[in-house]
Amino acid sequence: MKKIAIAMIFAGSSLLMADGAAIFAKCAGCHGQNGEKSALGKSAIIKGEDAAKTVKLLEGYKAGTLNQHGMGALMKGQVASLTDAQIKEVADYIAGLK
């Protein structure tokens, strides 16, 4: 029973990463496959960025209250459909990019 519980925990964490990766796929066009690019030559490089910071930024873009580098409207469109859970998943994924 203990082995099954451990296997389920690992399976769940890999699914979480897969979801974060799937969400990040639409970000890669501007930010690069590994978050290594300055989006449209304006943004900071996001690779390895602290997950809590990313969540806060994405929430600001989603709410329409953040306009860093003049990218507010573009980013609002990108994150408008994301749930809070999806924002957390993609933020965790970005934090893990090396």
Section 33-47 average pLDDT: 95
CA angle (83 as vertex; 27, 34 as ends), nearest 5 = 20
**pLDDT at residue number 13:** 43
**pLDDT at residue number 9:** 43
Please, which pLDDT band fits residue 8 given cuts at 50, 70 and 90? Answer: very low
Amino acid type, 28: A
Domains of the chain: 2-95 (1.10.760.10)
**pLDDT at residue number 18:** 60
What does the alpha-carbon distance between residue 84 and residue 2 come to, in Å, rounded to a whole number?
31
Residue burial 15-43, b: 16+ Cβ < 10 Å; e: rest: eeeebbeebbeebeebbbeebebebeeeb
> pLDDT tens digits, residue range 62-93?
999 999 999 999 999 999 999 999 999 999 99
Token code pair at residue 94: 């970005």
